[in-house]
């Protein structure tokens, strides 16, 4: 039987009927220790008291704008105190916070505006060049610009003045734990982003299961998440996990870069470090090329987003003496549902169910898969979303009672560890046998001339499915045909012949979502067009 529940599962029975995330994660710790630093940087320290007061001003200003319970507030901000204040400010009045990527394209903003039906937008001045063309007929008076005055269109309002005239007190609205609190958009790794609706209770249960039980987070911790606040993984890492414990966080409004991360780790000395596999790979590549990095302050390094290749795990451990806790979560589940545990790490595995979560592997008919058999991963837990906004038919397919169908292929080994094989759409059947892209990619990453790799299934001229590899090389390695054949032979020496790439193509960069996930559907599309 391929089902396993998290040990010591934090029960939902301990959730009060009335519960508001702004009160629990911000007002409660601010009342207990208002002068403690919540955000150490960037650009400057912010205490719990200051952050709570700023969020209260946002709530007051939103009510003044006529925002009512259940209405959506689109948040287009970099990681900052303003982001946190806007997020909790909306939740405090029973509105729904909708954070999205502040570094994306016009078409994405048009989709977010149209899909969410937002009544008000809080946007950073840096995002205006892409946002303004997408705004269309959206009312300028319902756009609040954070940053330089005069950068928006006439009629738009500006953050500093907007909050300065708001009442300084505002009591949180009595929301139920089962009320909707926020939307999170999926990363778009498989197509157009979809909004997962989360409830007030979801944050609390995710915190109990992962932050408390797995990370053992305390007030003495300092969290730094390379992954940004606008998506599920970063939102927990960099905001509500540290706030829940009275800890502090390091925020970086800039785009993720290894040299920037190394700078912030040296400056702020975090004890918890969160990133995605592609960032760990880039960091190690730059370290190999001379970037000096000191991770001695870090007690736990965590990875999610995609499977962490064993090659990256071993190199990071050898360089920094840290075993990366690899796990997997989803926008739908809010954060991790499977994770390695401190002291129980197995390279190449996503670990075991997080406390409070359950997992099972089933075949296409929904029957339990045998031990070691690749099947479909279904999960359950307190972080599970209530449904997709405006897509009831997809919700019905994704939620099977208490179970969420992840769309991921996994197998579970004899010791109960779960192993990621790829998205269901990414798996390929070659010569009648399943091939997991991750297995081929990891073999390629073992070659010293491979920086990144992605593998997809394509149809050859004979109509058969074959693995096609896309490889990114280090800057000093030329993409010559002889190297492609060398890589194919390298893989053939490590894997059965049918798993060997039919062809190797070189790219300057792999297409990725803003969260670092490889967009394999774009690679398949380009290969079918002869690109």
Residue by residue, DSSP assigns 207-261 as IIIIIITTS---TT-EEEESS-TTSHHHHIIIIIHHHHHT-EEE---SPP-HHHH
* Report for 225-229, 276-280, 307-311, 517-521: range of highest mean pLDDT: 225-229
- Nearest one of 90, 94, 141, 100 to 124, comparing CA atoms: 100
The pLDDT of residue 428 is: 82
Residue 9 has pLDDT above 70, yes or no: no
Q: What is the pLDDT of residue 12?
A: 54
> Across all residues in the chain, what is the average pLDDT?
92
Fold of 15-37+48-199: Rossmann fold (3.40.50)
pLDDT at 320: 98
User: Looking at the chain, which residues constitute the CATH 3.30.300.30 domain(s)?
Assistant: 428-528
> Which segments of the chain belong to CATH 3.40.50.12780?
200-384+401-422
Cis before 42 (ω within 30): yes
Considering only CA atoms, which of 94, 97, 95, 78 is closest in space to residue 86?
Answer: 97
Helix (H, G, I), strand (E, B) or coil at 373: coil
Across 352-380, average pLDDT: 94
Please give the class, per CATH, of domain 428-528.
Answer: alpha beta
Q: What is the pLDDT of residues 166-197, one digit of tens each?
A: 988 888 999 999 999 999 998 765 567 899 99
pLDDT tens track for 110-137: 999 999 999 999 999 999 999 999 999 9
pLDDT of residue 4: 63
Q: Where in the chain is the domain with CATH 3.40.50.980?
A: 15-37+48-199
Residue 26: name the closest of 162, 199, 183, 203 by CA: 203
Give the rounded percent of residues in the chain with a pLDDT score beyond 90: 76
- How much of the chain, in percent, has pLDDT values that exceed 70? 95
Q: Which CATH number among 3.40.47.10, 1.20.1290.10, 3.40.50.12780, 4.10.140.10 corresponds to the domain 200-384+401-422?
A: 3.40.50.12780
Better-scored residue on pLDDT, 433 or 269: 269
């Amino acid at each position: 039987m391929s089902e396993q529940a998290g040990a010591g599962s934090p029960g939902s029975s301990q959730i009060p009927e009335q519960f508001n995330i702004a009160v629990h994660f911000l007002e409660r710790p601010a009342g207990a220790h208002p002068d403690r630093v919540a955000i150490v940087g960037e650009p400057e320290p912010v205490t719990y008291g200051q952050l709570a007061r700023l969020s209260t001003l946002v709530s007051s200003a939103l009510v003044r704008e006529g925002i009512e319970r259940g209405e959506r507030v689109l948040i287009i901000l970099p990681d900052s105190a303003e982001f946190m204040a806007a997020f909790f400010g909306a939740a405090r009045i029973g509105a729904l916070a909708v954070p999205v990527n502040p570094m994306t394209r016009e078409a994405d903003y048009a989709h977010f505006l149209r899909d969410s039906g937002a009544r008000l937008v809080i946007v950073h001045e840096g995002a205006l060049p892409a946002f303004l063309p997408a705004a269309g007929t959206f009312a300028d008076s319902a756009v609040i610009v954070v940053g330089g005055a005069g950068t928006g269109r006439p009629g738009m309002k500006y953050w500093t003045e907007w909050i300065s005239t708001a009442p300084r007190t505002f009591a949180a609205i009595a929301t139920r734990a089962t009320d909707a609190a926020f939307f999170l958009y999926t990363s778009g790794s498989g197509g157009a982003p979809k909004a997962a609706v989360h409830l007030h209770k979801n944050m609390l249960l995710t915190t109990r299961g992962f932050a408390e039980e797995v990370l053992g987070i305390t007030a003495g911790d300092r969290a730094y998440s390379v992954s940004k606040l606008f998506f599920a993984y970063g939102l927990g890492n960099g905001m509500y996990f540290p706030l829940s414990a009275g800890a502090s966080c390091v925020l970086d409004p800039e785009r993720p870069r290894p040299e920037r991360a190394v700078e912030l780790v040296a400056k702020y000395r975090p004890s918890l470090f969160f990133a995605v596999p592609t960032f760990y790979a880039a960091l190690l590549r730059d370290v190999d090329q001379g970037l000096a990095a000191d991770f001695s302050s870090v007690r736990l390094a965590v990875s999610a987003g995609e499977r962490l290749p064993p090659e990256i795990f071993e190199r990071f451990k050898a360089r920094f003496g840290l075993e990366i806790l690899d796990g997997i979560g989803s926008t739908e589940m809010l954060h991790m549902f499977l994770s390695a545990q401190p002291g129980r790490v197995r390279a190449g595995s996503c670990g075991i169910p997080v406390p409070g979560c359950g997992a099972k592997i089933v075949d296409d008919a929904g029957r339990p898969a045998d031990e070691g058999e690749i099947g479909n991963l279904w999960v359950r837990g307190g972080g599970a979303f209530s449904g997709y906004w405006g897509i009831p038919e997809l919700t019905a397919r994704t939620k099977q009672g208490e179970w969420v169908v992840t769309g991921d292929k996994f197998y579970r080994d004899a010791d109960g560890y779960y192993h990621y094989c790829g998205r269901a759409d990414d798996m390929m059947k070659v010569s009648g046998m399943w091939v997991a892209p991750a297995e081929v990619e990891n073999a390629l990453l073992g070659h010293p001339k491979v920086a990144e790799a992605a593998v997809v299934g394509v149809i050859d001229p004979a109509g058969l499915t074959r693995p096609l590899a896309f490889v990114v090389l280090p800057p000093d390695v030329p993409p010559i045909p002889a190297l492609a054949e060398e890589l194919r032979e390298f893989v053939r020496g490590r894997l059965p012949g049918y798993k060997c790439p039919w062809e190797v193509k070189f790219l300057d960069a792999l297409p990725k979502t803003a969260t670092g996930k490889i967009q394999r559907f774009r690679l398949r599309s380009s290969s079918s067009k002869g690109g």
